[in-house]
Amino acid sequence: MRNRISERVPILSRVAGILPAIRGRDALDTKLKMGSQTICLVLVAVFVLTGCEQERKEDADVLARGPEVEAISPPSEEAARAIEATGGLNAWKKTAKLQLDCVVTFYQPDGSFYLTEQRYEVHPWSNSIQISADEPQGAFVWQLSQGQFDVLKGAGQIDALPKAVPSRCFAEVILNIITAPARFLDGSVEFSKQSTPVKMQGKWYYPIDRQGKDLTVSISDAVFYQDRDSSLVDMIRLACLNTGAAREKPIQYVRGYDYQKVEKAAPLVPTRIEIFETDARDRTQKRLVKIDCHTVKRAQ
Protein backbone atom coordinates (compact mmCIF):
# COMPACT_ATOMS: atom_id res chain seq x y z
CA MET A 1 0.00 0.00 0.00
CA ARG A 2 2.82 2.34 0.87
CA ASN A 3 4.43 1.60 -2.48
CA ARG A 4 1.25 2.54 -4.31
CA ILE A 5 0.95 5.78 -2.36
CA SER A 6 4.59 6.60 -2.93
CA GLU A 7 4.13 5.94 -6.64
CA ARG A 8 1.16 8.27 -6.76
CA VAL A 9 2.87 11.18 -5.00
CA PRO A 10 5.26 11.97 -7.87
CA ILE A 11 2.35 11.67 -10.29
CA LEU A 12 0.25 14.10 -8.25
CA SER A 13 3.18 16.44 -8.03
CA ARG A 14 3.59 16.41 -11.79
CA VAL A 15 -0.15 17.02 -12.26
CA ALA A 16 -0.02 19.86 -9.74
CA GLY A 17 2.85 21.34 -11.71
CA ILE A 18 0.95 21.09 -14.96
CA LEU A 19 -2.25 22.72 -13.63
CA PRO A 20 -0.77 26.23 -13.30
CA ALA A 21 0.42 25.99 -16.88
CA ILE A 22 -3.05 24.89 -18.01
CA ARG A 23 -4.65 27.68 -16.02
CA GLY A 24 -2.18 30.10 -17.57
CA ARG A 25 -3.05 28.95 -21.07
CA ASP A 26 -6.76 29.16 -20.22
CA ALA A 27 -6.31 32.69 -18.92
CA LEU A 28 -4.35 33.59 -22.04
CA ASP A 29 -7.03 32.05 -24.24
CA THR A 30 -9.70 33.95 -22.31
CA LYS A 31 -7.79 37.20 -22.72
CA LEU A 32 -7.34 36.52 -26.43
CA LYS A 33 -11.04 35.78 -26.79
CA MET A 34 -11.95 38.93 -24.90
CA GLY A 35 -9.52 40.91 -27.00
CA SER A 36 -11.01 39.47 -30.18
CA GLN A 37 -14.51 40.32 -28.98
CA THR A 38 -13.42 43.87 -28.18
CA ILE A 39 -11.87 44.26 -31.64
CA CYS A 40 -15.04 42.89 -33.23
CA LEU A 41 -17.21 45.32 -31.26
CA VAL A 42 -14.97 48.23 -32.26
CA LEU A 43 -15.10 47.19 -35.92
CA VAL A 44 -18.88 46.83 -35.79
CA ALA A 45 -19.19 50.29 -34.23
CA VAL A 46 -16.94 51.76 -36.93
CA PHE A 47 -18.96 50.09 -39.67
CA VAL A 48 -22.25 51.29 -38.16
CA LEU A 49 -21.02 54.87 -37.78
CA THR A 50 -19.55 54.84 -41.29
CA GLY A 51 -22.79 53.42 -42.62
CA CYS A 52 -24.84 56.12 -40.86
CA GLU A 53 -22.59 58.86 -42.19
CA GLN A 54 -22.79 57.37 -45.68
CA GLU A 55 -26.59 57.08 -45.39
CA ARG A 56 -26.90 60.72 -44.33
CA LYS A 57 -24.64 61.74 -47.21
CA GLU A 58 -26.69 59.69 -49.67
CA ASP A 59 -29.91 61.24 -48.32
CA ALA A 60 -28.45 64.71 -48.83
CA ASP A 61 -27.34 63.77 -52.34
CA VAL A 62 -30.82 62.53 -53.19
CA LEU A 63 -32.41 65.77 -51.97
CA ALA A 64 -29.97 67.91 -53.94
CA ARG A 65 -30.13 65.81 -57.09
CA GLY A 66 -30.79 67.89 -60.19
CA PRO A 67 -33.15 67.06 -63.03
CA GLU A 68 -32.49 65.24 -66.27
CA VAL A 69 -31.91 68.43 -68.21
CA GLU A 70 -32.80 67.04 -71.62
CA ALA A 71 -36.15 65.73 -70.36
CA ILE A 72 -37.39 69.04 -68.96
CA SER A 73 -39.65 71.44 -70.80
CA PRO A 74 -42.51 73.68 -69.61
CA PRO A 75 -45.79 71.78 -69.98
CA SER A 76 -47.92 74.86 -70.61
CA GLU A 77 -47.79 78.50 -71.64
CA GLU A 78 -48.41 79.72 -68.08
CA ALA A 79 -45.60 77.49 -66.82
CA ALA A 80 -43.20 78.88 -69.43
CA ARG A 81 -44.13 82.43 -68.45
CA ALA A 82 -43.72 81.79 -64.72
CA ILE A 83 -40.29 80.26 -65.29
CA GLU A 84 -39.18 83.05 -67.62
CA ALA A 85 -40.34 85.67 -65.10
CA THR A 86 -37.87 84.28 -62.53
CA GLY A 87 -34.78 84.01 -64.72
CA GLY A 88 -35.54 81.28 -67.25
CA LEU A 89 -35.40 77.51 -67.41
CA ASN A 90 -31.59 77.29 -67.58
CA ALA A 91 -31.28 79.19 -64.31
CA TRP A 92 -33.56 76.68 -62.58
CA LYS A 93 -31.84 73.71 -64.19
CA LYS A 94 -28.55 74.81 -62.65
CA THR A 95 -30.06 75.16 -59.18
CA ALA A 96 -30.06 71.92 -57.19
CA LYS A 97 -30.16 73.63 -53.80
CA LEU A 98 -30.93 77.03 -52.32
CA GLN A 99 -29.91 78.06 -48.82
CA LEU A 100 -31.70 80.98 -47.18
CA ASP A 101 -30.84 82.49 -43.78
CA CYS A 102 -33.78 84.50 -42.53
CA VAL A 103 -35.20 86.52 -39.65
CA VAL A 104 -38.69 85.25 -38.86
CA THR A 105 -41.42 87.18 -37.06
CA PHE A 106 -44.26 85.19 -35.50
CA TYR A 107 -47.27 87.38 -34.65
CA GLN A 108 -49.10 86.32 -31.49
CA PRO A 109 -52.86 86.55 -30.77
CA ASP A 110 -52.31 89.13 -28.01
CA GLY A 111 -50.65 91.55 -30.43
CA SER A 112 -47.08 90.75 -29.45
CA PHE A 113 -44.52 89.11 -31.72
CA TYR A 114 -41.59 86.73 -31.48
CA LEU A 115 -38.35 87.08 -33.47
CA THR A 116 -36.06 84.21 -34.36
CA GLU A 117 -33.47 83.10 -36.94
CA GLN A 118 -34.13 80.17 -39.24
CA ARG A 119 -32.29 78.46 -42.09
CA TYR A 120 -34.08 76.98 -45.11
CA GLU A 121 -32.37 74.46 -47.36
CA VAL A 122 -34.57 74.18 -50.43
CA HIS A 123 -34.23 71.49 -53.10
CA PRO A 124 -36.44 72.50 -56.04
CA TRP A 125 -36.14 69.30 -58.04
CA SER A 126 -36.86 66.86 -55.23
CA ASN A 127 -39.68 69.11 -53.93
CA SER A 128 -37.99 69.23 -50.53
CA ILE A 129 -37.12 71.64 -47.76
CA GLN A 130 -35.26 71.42 -44.46
CA ILE A 131 -35.95 74.02 -41.78
CA SER A 132 -33.58 74.39 -38.85
CA ALA A 133 -33.25 76.77 -35.92
CA ASP A 134 -32.02 77.08 -32.34
CA GLU A 135 -34.89 77.93 -30.02
CA PRO A 136 -35.02 78.39 -26.23
CA GLN A 137 -36.83 75.05 -26.01
CA GLY A 138 -34.06 73.40 -28.06
CA ALA A 139 -32.74 73.07 -31.60
CA PHE A 140 -34.95 71.50 -34.23
CA VAL A 141 -34.73 70.27 -37.81
CA TRP A 142 -37.84 69.64 -39.90
CA GLN A 143 -37.95 68.11 -43.35
CA LEU A 144 -40.71 68.03 -45.94
CA SER A 145 -39.86 65.88 -48.95
CA GLN A 146 -42.27 64.67 -51.62
CA GLY A 147 -45.17 65.42 -49.29
CA GLN A 148 -43.68 63.49 -46.34
CA PHE A 149 -43.08 65.57 -43.22
CA ASP A 150 -40.46 64.36 -40.72
CA VAL A 151 -38.99 65.75 -37.52
CA LEU A 152 -35.27 65.02 -37.81
CA LYS A 153 -34.33 66.69 -34.53
CA GLY A 154 -36.05 68.32 -31.59
CA ALA A 155 -39.73 69.15 -31.25
CA GLY A 156 -42.31 68.89 -34.02
CA GLN A 157 -43.89 72.23 -33.13
CA ILE A 158 -42.42 75.35 -31.58
CA ASP A 159 -44.25 77.51 -29.05
CA ALA A 160 -44.07 80.71 -31.10
CA LEU A 161 -45.58 79.21 -34.27
CA PRO A 162 -49.27 80.20 -34.49
CA LYS A 163 -51.71 77.32 -34.05
CA ALA A 164 -53.30 78.29 -37.37
CA VAL A 165 -50.04 77.27 -39.08
CA PRO A 166 -49.02 73.70 -38.13
CA SER A 167 -45.34 72.93 -38.70
CA ARG A 168 -46.03 70.80 -41.80
CA CYS A 169 -48.06 73.61 -43.34
CA PHE A 170 -45.37 76.13 -42.45
CA ALA A 171 -42.78 74.08 -44.34
CA GLU A 172 -45.08 73.54 -47.30
CA VAL A 173 -46.02 77.17 -47.89
CA ILE A 174 -42.37 78.27 -47.75
CA LEU A 175 -41.28 75.52 -50.14
CA ASN A 176 -44.03 76.32 -52.64
CA ILE A 177 -43.60 80.10 -52.76
CA ILE A 178 -39.82 79.84 -53.18
CA THR A 179 -39.97 77.15 -55.88
CA ALA A 180 -43.31 78.06 -57.51
CA PRO A 181 -41.96 78.03 -61.11
CA ALA A 182 -40.32 74.61 -60.61
CA ARG A 183 -43.57 73.19 -59.23
CA PHE A 184 -45.11 73.57 -62.71
CA LEU A 185 -42.62 70.92 -63.88
CA ASP A 186 -43.71 68.38 -61.25
CA GLY A 187 -45.17 65.35 -62.98
CA SER A 188 -47.07 64.16 -59.88
CA VAL A 189 -49.54 67.08 -60.07
CA GLU A 190 -51.68 68.74 -62.70
CA PHE A 191 -52.49 72.43 -63.17
CA SER A 192 -55.60 74.04 -64.60
CA LYS A 193 -55.61 77.75 -65.42
CA GLN A 194 -58.80 79.74 -65.05
CA SER A 195 -59.56 81.89 -68.07
CA THR A 196 -60.84 84.93 -66.16
CA PRO A 197 -58.47 87.01 -64.01
CA VAL A 198 -59.42 88.05 -60.48
CA LYS A 199 -58.43 91.15 -58.56
CA MET A 200 -56.73 90.58 -55.23
CA GLN A 201 -55.02 93.19 -53.09
CA GLY A 202 -55.04 95.68 -55.93
CA LYS A 203 -53.50 93.34 -58.55
CA TRP A 204 -54.96 91.18 -61.30
CA TYR A 205 -54.15 87.48 -61.20
CA TYR A 206 -54.93 84.36 -63.18
CA PRO A 207 -55.78 81.58 -60.70
CA ILE A 208 -54.13 78.25 -61.56
CA ASP A 209 -55.53 75.28 -59.66
CA ARG A 210 -53.15 72.50 -58.60
CA GLN A 211 -54.23 69.00 -57.68
CA GLY A 212 -52.29 65.83 -57.07
CA LYS A 213 -52.63 62.98 -59.55
CA ASP A 214 -50.15 60.56 -57.97
CA LEU A 215 -51.92 58.76 -55.11
CA THR A 216 -48.59 57.67 -53.62
CA VAL A 217 -47.57 61.30 -52.92
CA SER A 218 -49.30 63.38 -50.23
CA ILE A 219 -49.72 66.88 -51.58
CA SER A 220 -52.00 69.73 -50.61
CA ASP A 221 -54.45 71.26 -53.03
CA ALA A 222 -53.41 74.77 -53.97
CA VAL A 223 -54.16 77.73 -56.17
CA PHE A 224 -51.19 79.49 -57.73
CA TYR A 225 -51.89 83.14 -58.56
CA GLN A 226 -50.02 84.39 -61.62
CA ASP A 227 -49.70 88.14 -62.05
CA ARG A 228 -51.47 89.12 -65.27
CA ASP A 229 -48.85 91.70 -66.16
CA SER A 230 -45.52 90.27 -64.93
CA SER A 231 -46.41 86.51 -65.10
CA LEU A 232 -44.81 86.15 -61.67
CA VAL A 233 -46.45 83.64 -59.32
CA ASP A 234 -46.08 85.60 -56.09
CA MET A 235 -49.16 84.39 -54.18
CA ILE A 236 -50.44 80.90 -53.35
CA ARG A 237 -53.54 79.67 -51.54
CA LEU A 238 -52.78 76.37 -49.82
CA ALA A 239 -55.29 73.98 -48.25
CA CYS A 240 -52.67 72.24 -46.19
CA LEU A 241 -52.79 68.54 -45.42
CA ASN A 242 -52.53 68.46 -41.64
CA THR A 243 -51.31 65.41 -39.77
CA GLY A 244 -53.36 66.17 -36.66
CA ALA A 245 -56.07 63.93 -35.28
CA ALA A 246 -58.87 66.06 -36.75
CA ARG A 247 -57.38 65.85 -40.24
CA GLU A 248 -58.53 69.39 -40.88
CA LYS A 249 -57.10 71.37 -43.76
CA PRO A 250 -55.89 74.78 -42.56
CA ILE A 251 -55.96 77.33 -45.34
CA GLN A 252 -53.24 79.93 -45.68
CA TYR A 253 -52.28 82.50 -48.25
CA VAL A 254 -48.58 82.97 -48.73
CA ARG A 255 -47.08 85.90 -50.64
CA GLY A 256 -43.60 86.55 -51.93
CA TYR A 257 -42.02 90.02 -52.17
CA ASP A 258 -38.75 91.66 -53.12
CA TYR A 259 -37.67 89.06 -55.67
CA GLN A 260 -33.93 89.05 -56.20
CA LYS A 261 -31.52 87.03 -58.28
CA VAL A 262 -29.52 84.68 -56.08
CA GLU A 263 -26.39 85.20 -58.16
CA LYS A 264 -25.38 85.51 -61.80
CA ALA A 265 -27.35 83.15 -64.07
CA ALA A 266 -29.45 82.03 -61.09
CA PRO A 267 -33.22 82.27 -60.61
CA LEU A 268 -35.08 85.01 -58.79
CA VAL A 269 -36.54 84.10 -55.40
CA PRO A 270 -38.54 86.09 -52.85
CA THR A 271 -36.47 87.57 -50.04
CA ARG A 272 -39.59 88.44 -48.05
CA ILE A 273 -42.40 85.96 -47.41
CA GLU A 274 -45.64 86.58 -45.53
CA ILE A 275 -48.27 84.08 -44.41
CA PHE A 276 -51.88 85.13 -43.81
CA GLU A 277 -54.85 83.41 -42.26
CA THR A 278 -58.30 83.37 -43.90
CA ASP A 279 -61.82 84.00 -42.68
CA ALA A 280 -64.97 81.94 -43.29
CA ARG A 281 -65.32 83.52 -46.74
CA ASP A 282 -61.77 82.55 -47.67
CA ARG A 283 -60.55 86.11 -47.58
CA THR A 284 -57.08 86.97 -46.35
CA GLN A 285 -57.05 88.42 -42.87
CA LYS A 286 -54.28 89.22 -40.43
CA ARG A 287 -50.66 88.38 -41.02
CA LEU A 288 -49.38 85.42 -39.04
CA VAL A 289 -45.74 85.17 -40.10
CA LYS A 290 -43.21 87.45 -41.78
CA ILE A 291 -39.90 86.11 -43.11
CA ASP A 292 -37.04 88.40 -44.15
CA CYS A 293 -34.11 86.61 -45.77
CA HIS A 294 -30.78 88.40 -45.53
CA THR A 295 -28.60 85.72 -47.14
CA VAL A 296 -29.45 83.53 -50.13
CA LYS A 297 -26.98 81.08 -51.69
CA ARG A 298 -27.14 78.56 -54.50
CA ALA A 299 -25.51 75.15 -54.62
CA GLN A 300 -25.26 73.61 -58.08
Residues 79-92: tens digit of each pLDDT: 999 999 999 999 99
Distance CA 268, CA 261 (A): 4
**Residue 296 zone, left/alpha/beta (φ > 0; ψ -120 to 50; rest):** beta
State percent of the chain over pLDDT 70. Answer: 71
Q: Amino acid identity, residue 186?
A: D
How wide is the angle at C-alpha 21 spanned by C-alphas 20 and 26, nearest 5°? 95
Residue 263 confidence class, pLDDT cut points 50, 70, 90: confident
The whole-number pLDDT of residue 221 equals: 87
Task: Give, for 189, the enclosing helix (H) or strand (E).
Answer: strand 189-193
Please say if the pLDDT value at position 260 is more than 50.
yes
Length of the chain: 300
Higher-pLDDT residue of 107, 52? 107
Distance CA 258, CA 100 (A): 14
Distance CA 121, CA 67 (A): 17
Distance CA 240, CA 220 (A): 5
Distance CA 157, CA 250 (A): 15
Return mean pLDDT, the chain: 80
Name beta bridge partners: 144. Answer: 129, 149
Judged on CB neighbours under 10 Å (0-12, 13-18, 19+), 100 is buried
The whole-number pLDDT of residue 67 equals: 56
Distance CA 172, CA 237 (A): 11
The whole-number pLDDT of residue 70 equals: 54
Please say if the pLDDT value at position 46 is more than 70.
no
The whole-number pLDDT of residue 163 equals: 82
Please say if the pLDDT value at position 141 is more than 50.
yes
| Domains of the chain with bracketed CATH | 75-299 (2.50.20.10)
pLDDT digits (tens, 9 = 90+) for 222-250: 999 999 999 999 999 998 876 554 445 67
Residue 299 confidence class, pLDDT cut points 50, 70, 90: confident
pLDDT digits (tens, 9 = 90+) for 194-211: 999 999 888 999 999 998
DSSP, collapsed to helix, strand or coil, labels residue 213 as coil
Cα 290 from chain centre = 20
Residue 68 confidence class, pLDDT cut points 50, 70, 90: low
Lowest mean pLDDT among 46-60, 88-102, 186-200: 46-60
What is the average per-residue pLDDT within 56-62? 47
Please say if the pLDDT value at position 7 is more than 90.
no
Count helices and strands in the chain by DSSP H and E runs: 5, 13
